[in-house]
Amino acid sequence: MHTRNTRRARLVTGALTALTLTMTAAACGGDSDDPETGGEATTISVATFNEFGYEGLIDEWNSTHDDVKIEQVKVGTWDDAKANLYTKLAAGSGLSDIEAIEGDAIAAVLAESDAFSDLTDPAVEGRWLDFVVERGTSSDGQLIGYGTDVGPEGICYRSDLFKKAGLPTDRDEVAALLGTWDDYFALGEEFVDAEPDVAWYDSSGGLAQAMLNQVENPFESDDDVIETDNAELKAVWDAVTGNAEKLSTRTGQWSDDWTASFQNDGFATMACPGWMLGVIEGNAEGIEGWDIADAFPGGGGNWGGSYLTVPAQGDNVEEAKEVAEWLTAPEQQTKAFAAKGTFPSQVEALSSPDVTDAVNAFFNDAPVGQILANRAEAVTVQPHKGPKYSDILQAFQAATLRVDDGSQDADESWEQFQADVEALG
């Protein structure tokens, strides 16, 4: 019989086998001098990735709290954070007081729920959308994660590049052209015929993940049996790899080349969950022409969303719970949305005028609050994400990249993907 520690070690080993990224250390919380009282303030470290919109919130907290201070430990991607998380879970020490977990990976974390603090509290009951709470709750009823954002998807596009290609630029007219994925790819063919030096979309891996968000069981059955040789997954694979040569940048999402493509007119469109708005604005600084259409091919889709967890190994668990509760309160999430476009998962925040009336100057003054609210209402499918989902997704994206870089053709890479999944156990 396997012990809990053995299961955790197996989880870690499997995850690290799938990763080739350098582990990124996250600082632990500690004590620092409190200039107001002359004593020591407790420092709570919050490990995040991508853009959570917390910078202003942390400044706000630190300016009004003398005894507890927040320090953010920020890395570029979830893969970086994931490597660090699993390594230090196995070691039993070294994690930040609060660890952000990407939504696709929360099921794997729930399988190790004894390594995290139970965040159940009457004060937060009813705070989040039901599916957010369900995903963050373990099988024995412990609330392991406080939901941050969700990721309703639209299509972001470069209106200036559309104009050069002779396509409509008005966001309502663009939305009308994006009813299905066939429509999307056909419009891309028209675009690249007019602008052959510009790709239609940003990356095959990113597009694949966006499409997978409309599949109920992309990798695993409802009882977590791995089933990757299925028709719906193969249809996504064929669509993405079949269009890559002509329509994709053929770069890996989050790679240096991908980041550079924002500045050199590398592509015209991308799948755009709310949290991606901040990423685009950061990478495309100084570039004019970005907009967002109130449409998503095939209906609706939710990409991402994250959780804040409190590892049980920390020295300041109670203070960390207090900080996590505050950062994920509706009032704070409306501010994070204003800062980086991270769309709130909190019920009260969804009806706040600060969200529903929000516009984004960088995206041509688009009414992003209403657009993302509409996109959230359009979501009809929540893919089943079992404990292996995140690792399988990573293998799937690696498979698309092999086709993009020419190291394997589509059939060879599909077979390699199946073998990689089998090796996950």
| Per-residue pLDDT at 7 | 35
| pLDDT tier at 14, thresholds 50, 70, 90 | very low
Q: Which pTM was predicted?
A: 0.80
How large is the angle between the packed helices 55-64 and 330-340, nearest 10 degrees?
Answer: 130
| Res. 18: pLDDT tops 80 | no
pLDDT at 34: 52
Question: So what's the pLDDT on residue 9?
Answer: 37
Mean pLDDT calculated for residue range 328-351? 94
Mean pLDDT score, 130-151: 94
pLDDT > 90? residue 69: yes
CB-based contact 342:148 (threshold 8 Å): yes
Task: Give the CATH superfamily of 4-150+305-358.
Answer: Periplasmic binding protein-like II (3.40.190.10)
Nearest residue to 306 via CA among 149, 131, 153, 118: 149
Cβ–Cβ under 8 Å, residues 167 and 268: no
pLDDT of residue 25: 35
Residue pLDDT, tens place only, 25-66 = 334 455 555 555 456 899 999 999 989 999 999 999 999 999
Q: What is the pLDDT of residue 131?
A: 87
Matching CATH number, 151-302+382-424, of 3.40.50.300, 3.30.70.260, 3.40.190.10, 3.30.1280.10: 3.40.190.10
Q: What percent of the chain has pLDDT over 70?
A: 91
Both structure tokens of 181? 């994925």
How high is the pLDDT of residue 304? 84
Instruction: Please check whether residue 274 is in contact with residue 341, taking contact to mean a CB–CB distance below 8 angstroms.
Output: yes
**Numbered ranges of CATH 3.40.190.10 in the chain:** 4-150+305-358, 151-302+382-424
Closest CA to 307 of 140, 57, 22, 107: 107
